[in-house]
Chain A
Amino acid sequence: MHDIETSVPAIILTVVFALAAGAVTYLFYRKHALRQKVAVWIRLCVYILALMLILQPVYVNYDAPVRKNVVPVFIDNSRSMAYGGPRSRWDEAKVWLNNDALKSLGHRFSLKYYTFSSSTAVPYNLSAGPTGEYTDLSAVFKQVSTEYNNAVPGIIIVTDGIHNNSQINIMAQVKDVAYPVNCVATSAQVEHDIALENLSYSSIAFKNVDTKIGVDITGTGYENTEVVVTLNEAGAVLQKKVVKLDSNGKGRAGFDFLSDYVGERKLSVQAPVIAGELVKNNNVKDFTLSIIREKIRVLYICGQANYEYSYLRNVLKGDPSIELVSFIILRNPENIAFVSDDQLSLIPFPHQEIFMNYLPQFDLLIFENFAYQRFAITPAMLEKLAWFVKEKGGGFLMIGGDNAFGRGGYKETAVERILPVEIGGYEEQVDTQKFNLKLAVPQHPVVALSTDFDENKRLWGLMPELEGCNITGDAKPGATVVGVHPKITTARGSLPVLTLWDYGNGRVMSLASNTTWRWAMGLAKIGKGKELYDRFWSQSVRWLTRGEQLSAVRVVAEKSEVSLNEKVLIKITVLDDQYRLDNSARVKVVVQLPQKDVRTDISDTAMLVKPGEYWVEYLPSTAGKYYFKITAYGRRGLAGDTGITVNAKSFGEDDELRPNMELLNAIAGVTQGGVSSIKEFNPGQLNFLSAKSSAAVKFRYRVWTEWYFYLLLTIILCIEWFLRRMRGLP
């Protein structure tokens, strides 16, 4: 097999030769003398050689096409191919292999068969059956690249189109494929099935903030019917949604989930198993939500503009883990305004919204020197406050002053019930003398300014005096009196000043003085700054809001459940002993694998990504639960330890059971291949590159590059010159 290649189309070449031949013939018959005719012939030869110099034709000799081009045929053997009825997709594929039309295709190409499912395609093995854990269509393209260097006229993939390797964007890979990808789609459908798919949720949710959970429902054989989908936890139904499936059997259920405590919530969404369903495990989706406190949300209500508010506000605002919303009464009803209201920056106090609507969104409520009755707060709102503490696990702090405790009108209200001290009526006294707080429980986390007992005692010895103290009643049974007045006594002992207790799910603290700002100023006077003051309040807020607040090491997993080929990302936040983000911590991470007693240390993968936040990645190798044990060390040794569990599972093959024709059409469209149904297989719908492009070139012969071409041209020109010179031709 041979060919002539030129730089111009063959038709132009033919026309030029025809014109040259015509011109020569005309001149030939016009000349009568032999030497004239010889001269014409010589001139013709010169022209032809000159033309070849211009066109530079190449003689190409091909190998004879003795062997047919190979077309690889890839058959999906993942588990989803076992589904379908009455004949499974795998059975359809086996029948298709004996199809006459396929045999006719075999006359044109040499068909070579493979099976594939996960990352590797292997030569076809009929006896193995559809057992692949998941489907990765990119395995096909890797095989063509490795074995054929992509030099194939096209390929055929027999599959249901369920590609569930979430790490591979198959359409991005297909764009680089240079040969037609022909898809033969298995069509066997599951006759009856309810499947939950595309579960969407944020694996990290925040306490007291709604998080959205959504799931698609596909009901094969249950079109236009209603399906009940539930959100469950530990077998109990939390929420229930009735979803009407459309004419395609599709629907979506959405849940708004709110957790009122911090920790892991192991949840599931579930649809009922209906009689006749082939696959039952796709009716439920398990997942874990890590409920964290992004920030401690503090609501601070202050009854009078004073230094205490200013200082405490400064502490709370300066702590990046605290989000503060505060209201301070800047003007009382009896105050006079000498300018119009539009010149004042005052806003109405939204007591109704706060107590009846927004209170559950906070973690801590502070009342400082605040008499509720003056601001239209009703006893019902105070009941809501008590509910917030007892049932919702909120924290409550009452700070003293002329309008706090009994003088604030809290006698015989819900607030009196939740306070850890007894209170009197409006006649309750306020002592105006200065005093040093005397610690009764110096090791309590609220007042532990140092972990060392003696050092803590020394630091409290430096604390300046407070000035003024509400003379409340005694501490209630069960309350912890952390600090007392050194001089004033009650019937049962020293006057409680700093008193705490757990009330229901929440915590309450009472501080009978609103002059702790004096600690900051007094410490500054002796050159100690206000760190100890800040630490006292930081610890108080964290104790009141309980949970991980006193832990220096916090951990969250980006996803609580990953697929086998997906990396686990663990985010670890380390705080120093003053609850500041620690950028120089040493983080040790040990993974407990699903196999019993197998551990691996991945500490060297820990990277500081943000201030105080370290990330580690891990790729699970087998399905199961992986426990990540994290230990962090700061400048002063052990900062803390914690752990988190991530579930690795191979999912997808039993979830989405419908053949994915959209994907197959898209792949074929991008690669200019074709799609054919396996039941009505028609090779004419498939597309392949022409065989010629794949035939091998034996050799190419470029005449015009040879030396003898130019020698011949020179000799001919010399002969012509000689004839003309010697014979006197014109």
Chain B
Amino acid sequence: MKLYSNKPLIWMVIVSLWLPVFMSTVLYSEPQRDRFVFTQLRYTGGNWDSYTGVERHVLKFMSTTTSIKPYSTRRVVTAEDELLFESPFLVITGDSEFQPFTNHEVENLRRYILGGGLIFVNDITGRKNTGFDLSIRREFKRILPGSGFKIIPRDNAIYRAFYLLRTVGGRQVINNYTEGIMLSNRLVVIYTQNDMLGVWMKDEFGKYVYNCIPGGESQRLEGIKLFANIIMYCVTGTYKTDVIHQPFIQRKLEVR
């Protein structure tokens, strides 16, 4: 007969070993400072999280190929969340109609844009006139009255912020253009119906999950490059439209 049980001791050892790990995870949050944060909007109704984990591929790509230092995890916010104003880059993605934003959310998103924020909107359906498309156009009419979506011209900085682009890629190319809303010469909303996030999705073995239609891998590459350019545009603005770059860019475009 055992006079005492050694179970408490085992538990004590386990707890003492895991406590620091647990505490560091719970209490310590990684400082953002000057890092790029992939922030995604959670809205009511519809499929707000179409590609869970896509940000890992995006951020790894950006840190490997550019000087951007990304924040390691995705930040999910609502339009009423104060954290919304902690990062000037916001992704809205979906495939179906969603509930209208509340007035407070509309006002917050307007303030976000006026404060320098850039919103990237991605329709994953690969079709036109979807419920998501209708919802997006409806809501941005409320957020920025009088400023509708327009086709972004090909000489805009998003087509040359890092990569020189002549075509528009994506998982399913249904438009050979990207739409956007300009405010005071600044692109504040970028909207694609070509599903530019779907091109990044990989399985656990590193293989791309979705085929790109109709252009295949070259179309995927163009989609990756354009999305990378959009992130670069967020942190450099119209830098690549400065006069000093023009001779270099023009020469490269002519050579290609």
Which residues of A come within 8 Å of B, CB atoms?
A: 303-311, 313-314, 317-318, 324-326, 328-332, 335-339, 342-347, 369, 401-402, 432-433, 467-468, 514-515, 517-518, 520-525, 527, 529-530
**B242-A326 in contact (CB<8A):** yes
Question: In the docked arrangement, what's the CA distance between A318 and B240, Å?
Answer: 16
Q: List 7 A-B contacts (CB under 8 A).
A: A306-B34, A311-B88, A330-B232, A331-B65, A345-B161, A524-B116, A529-B114
Query: Given A521-B115, A525-B82, are A305 and B236 neighbors across the interface (CB < 8 Å)?
Result: yes
How many B residues touch the partner, as a band?
35 or more
Flag whether B244 is at the interface (Cβ < 8 A). yes
**Most chain B CB atoms below 10 A, which of A345, A369, A467:** A345
**A332-B237 in contact (CB<8A):** no
Question: In the docked arrangement, what's the CA distance between A369 and B69, Å?
Answer: 12
A329 touches which of B67, B116, B162, B232 (Cβ 8 Å): B67
Query: Given A337-B65, A467-B33, A468-B31, are A342 and B255 neighbors across the interface (CB < 8 Å)?
Result: yes
Among residues of A, the one whose C-beta sits closest to the C-beta of B240 is A345
| Among listed B46-54, B134-142, B192-200, B245-253, interface-contacting one | B245-253
Q: Which residues of B contact A339 (CB under 8 A)?
A: 163, 221, 225
**B242-A309 in contact (CB<8A):** no
Q: Which residues of A contact B207 (CB under 8 A)?
A: none
| Interface bits B102-127 vs A (CB < 8 Å: 1, else 0) | 00000010011011110000000000
13 more A-B contacts (CB under 8 A) besides A311-B88, A329-B67?
A305-B235, A307-B36, A307-B87, A307-B88, A313-B236, A317-B238, A326-B242, A337-B65, A342-B256, A343-B163, A344-B163, A515-B34, A521-B85
Q: Which residues of A contact B76 (CB under 8 A)?
A: none
Q: Which residues of A contact B232 (CB under 8 A)?
A: 305, 330
CB A42 to nearest CB in B, in angstroms, measures: 98
**A305-B115 in contact (CB<8A):** no
Q: Which residues of B contact A527 (CB under 8 A)?
A: 111
Q: Which residues of B contact A328 (CB under 8 A)?
A: 236, 239
**A309-B235 in contact (CB<8A):** yes
Q: Which residues of A contact B31 (CB under 8 A)?
A: 432-433, 467-468
B219-242, CB < 8 A from A: 221, 225, 232, 234-240, 242
**B85-A517 in contact (CB<8A):** no
**A335-B252 in contact (CB<8A):** no
CB A373 to nearest CB in B, in angstroms, measures: 16
Among residues of B, the one whose C-beta sits closest to the C-beta of A339 is B163
**A369-B244 in contact (CB<8A):** no
Question: In the docked arrangement, what's the CA distance between A314 and B184, Å?
Answer: 10
Flag whether B147 is at the interface (Cβ < 8 A). no
Q: Which residues of A contact B221 (CB under 8 A)?
A: 339
**A305-B67 in contact (CB<8A):** yes
Flag whether B68 is at the interface (Cβ < 8 A). yes
**A310-B116 in contact (CB<8A):** yes
CB B43 to nearest CB in A, in angstroms, measures: 19
Among residues of A, the one whose C-beta sits closest to the C-beta of B232 is A305
Among residues of A, the one whose C-beta sits closest to the C-beta of B233 is A310
Q: Which residues of A contact B154 (CB under 8 A)?
A: none
Question: In the docked arrangement, what's the CA distance between A283 and B159, Å?
Answer: 61
**A311-B65 in contact (CB<8A):** no
**A468-B34 in contact (CB<8A):** yes
Q: Which residues of B contact A432 (CB under 8 A)?
A: 31, 33
Query: Given A307-B34, A530-B116, are A330 and B67 neighbors across the interface (CB < 8 Å)?
Result: yes
